[in-house]
Amino acid sequence: MNPECAIPYFITGLTGIDDDMVRNAPKFHEISEKVLDFMKDTIFVAHSVNFDYNVIKNEFKAIGIDFVLKKLCTVRLSRKLIPGYHSYSLGKLCSALGIPLTDRHRARGDAHATVLLFKKLLNAEGASEVFKSFLNARSQEATLPPSLPRATFEKLPSQPGIYYFKDSKGKIIYVGKAINLKKRVLGHFYDKSTKEVRLCRETADIDFELSGSELLALLMESHAIKKHYPEYNRAQKRTLQQYAIFSYEDRNGVQHLAFNKAKLAPNALITFTNMTDCRLYLEEICKTFGLCAKYCHLQEKVASCSHYRIPQCNGICRGTEPPSKYNQSVNAAIAHMRLRKEHFVIKERGRNHNEVAFVLVQNDIYMGYGFIDGSQQITSSQDLDPFLNPQKDTVEANGIIRSYVNKHPDRVLSISDTTVDLIQR
């Protein structure tokens, strides 16, 4: 088939197929009717079937035709009917079973070897029941990655936590979080996007950790991504932009508050994970301390302030309030921001009904999380130390916690040395 584009060098090196060989070949739309007629009332069989099936399906989709057939995967069938082999790749399986395989990575050679393998599977002991179960419309066999044992998938619980996709060498290639681990993982196998198909083809094992709640799962996932840097994770691998509030004095002796990217903010008073939160906090500071929106840079290029969310200031921008008096209010706001150090615990569900989970924040720094037996008496933050799983205070973790605190303030407990039954169930 003519791909209507240049063939990459590595494909030519792998298959021996170059541009000259396909230059005069028919385009897919020219042979689509023959392909449909040939496949009518058949079952689509391939080694790692989802990859091949989706190639054909997408070609038909590009010309406006829905392509739907039942599928059988000779990798998964082989694992079931002839277990015990170290590798189930087509080449190694054919070598182990004495199946001739010529013209490797070419359609005719691979297809002929797959046919011979399929015949062996049809004649294997118990083949009838296995084939029936695989063709059952409710069966997940054709959905699971070819290299993933079904038993591994079945071990996944329907509980909150994080999961690790691993390749055949045990390397973590993807980390995700879920409220229902089994359901979320299965969602990957039904997703037929190119990235998901590639991920599933490489997945040979799945591990997991229970979290008890979505909040803990989010924090655990963020930590795991930064620790393992998996190939198929994109989010949280880049450094997020932080924003900060800072102060400076102009040539007229007026003290300003302003906000900018954290790396451009000298002597930052307080930092945020996004510009919106930074600006909204500065608006609250303006309202609380009677500051001017113009001199807090919430309004630019105006003669005097008129911010719709901030009451009119005492007149510094109109020349009716002396700088010395205005600066006193600014310095009070600065002192407030410097003293704004939060100490709190978030209480969450544990991994079982006898357990309580917690997230600890001290001096505005995320310290980590932990799990405690519900019968434990926790009377101070120090009592949490033996149960704490220390974590790195990252921009992402702070964003997760701040978002949670805004949505669930009832689960946030202020802490002090005199707090009693801090983690009581």
Q: Which residues pair with 244 in a beta bridge?
A: 260, 271
Q: Which residue has the higher pLDDT, 240 or 54?
A: 54
- What three-state secondary structure class fits 189? helix
pLDDT band (50, 70, 90) for residue 343: confident
Return the DSSP state at 264.
G
The residue ranges of DSSP E strands in 171-218, in sequence order, are: 172-178, 205-210
* pLDDT reported for residue 418: 39
Q: Count CB neighbours of 172 within 10 A.
A: 20
56, 66 in Cβ contact below 8 A? Answer: no
Q: Which residues of 380-404 are buried (b: 16+ CB within 10 A; e: fewer)?
A: ebeebeebbeebeebbbbbbbbeeb
Q: Which residue has the higher pLDDT, 216 or 374?
A: 216
Mean pLDDT score, 220-238? 88
* pLDDT reported for residue 423: 53
Asked whether residue 159 carries a pLDDT value surpassing 90, the answer given is yes
Q: Tell me the pLDDT of the chain averaged across its residues.
A: 88
pLDDT tens-digit readout, 5-46: 888 888 888 778 888 888 888 999 899 999 999 998 899 999
Q: Count CB neighbours of 273 within 10 A.
A: 22
Distance CA 325, CA 189 (A): 65
* pLDDT reported for residue 1: 75
Ordered by where they begin, the domains of the chain are: 42-135 (no CATH), 150-228 (3.40.1440.10), 243-339 (no CATH), 344-414 (no CATH)
Mean pLDDT score, 309-320? 91
Query: pTM of the prediction?
Result: 0.62
* pLDDT reported for residue 211: 97
pLDDT band (50, 70, 90) for residue 146: confident
Asked whether residue 141 carries a pLDDT value surpassing 70, the answer given is no
Asked whether residue 238 carries a pLDDT value surpassing 80, the answer given is no
Return the DSSP state at 30.
H
Q: Which residue has the higher pLDDT, 209 or 48?
A: 209
Asked whether residue 422 carries a pLDDT value surpassing 60, the answer given is no
| Residue corresponding to tokens 């296995």 | 130
Which conformational region is residue 365 in: left (phi greater than 0), alpha (psi within -120 to 50 degrees), or beta?
A: beta
* pLDDT reported for residue 420: 41
Per-residue DSSP letters for 68-130? --EEEEHHHHHHHHS---S--SHHHHHHHHT----STTSHHHHHHHHHHHHHHHHTSTTHHHH
The residue ranges of DSSP E strands in 300-418, in sequence order, are: 344-349, 355-362, 365-373, 388-390, 412-414
* pLDDT reported for residue 11: 82
Residues in the chain: 425
Among residues 247, 186, 236, 262, which one has the least CA distance to residue 399?
A: 236
pLDDT tens-digit readout, 283-305: 999 999 999 999 999 999 999 99
Which long-range contacts (C-beta less than 8 Å, at least 24 apart) are formed by 387-391? 387/358, 388/360, 391/219, 391/223, 391/366, 391/367
pLDDT tens-digit readout, 383-396: 889 999 999 988 88
* pLDDT reported for residue 394: 86
Asked whether residue 137 carries a pLDDT value surpassing 70, the answer given is no
The C-alpha angle with vertex 196 and arms to 192 and 198, in degrees rounded to 5, equals 110
The C-alpha angle with vertex 232 and arms to 104 and 107, in degrees rounded to 5, equals 15
The CA-based dihedral angle spanning residues 34, 36, 41, 45, taken in that order and rounded to the nearest 10 degrees: 100
Asked whether residue 140 carries a pLDDT value surpassing 70, the answer given is no
* pLDDT reported for residue 329: 96
Percent of the chain predicted with pLDDT > 90: 52
pLDDT band (50, 70, 90) for residue 282: very high
* pLDDT reported for residue 138: 63
Mean pLDDT score, 352-375? 89
- What three-state secondary structure class fits 153? helix
Mean pLDDT score, 198-212? 94
Among residues 57, 75, 168, which one has the least CA distance to residue 114?
A: 75
Asked whether residue 416 carries a pLDDT value surpassing 70, the answer given is no
Asked whether residue 154 carries a pLDDT value surpassing 50, the answer given is yes
Distance CA 93, CA 48 (A): 13
Q: Which residue has the higher pLDDT, 101 or 140?
A: 101
Q: Which residues pair with 162 in a beta bridge?
A: 177, 209
Asked whether residue 322 carries a pLDDT value surpassing 50, the answer given is yes
Asked whether residue 48 carries a pLDDT value surpassing 90, the answer given is no
Among residues 374, 372, 373, 348, which one has the least CA distance to residue 359?
A: 348
Mean pLDDT score, 224-244? 85
Distance CA 61, CA 122 (A): 32
Mean pLDDT score, 92-119? 89
- Reported as type and span, the H/E element at residue 44 is strand 43-46
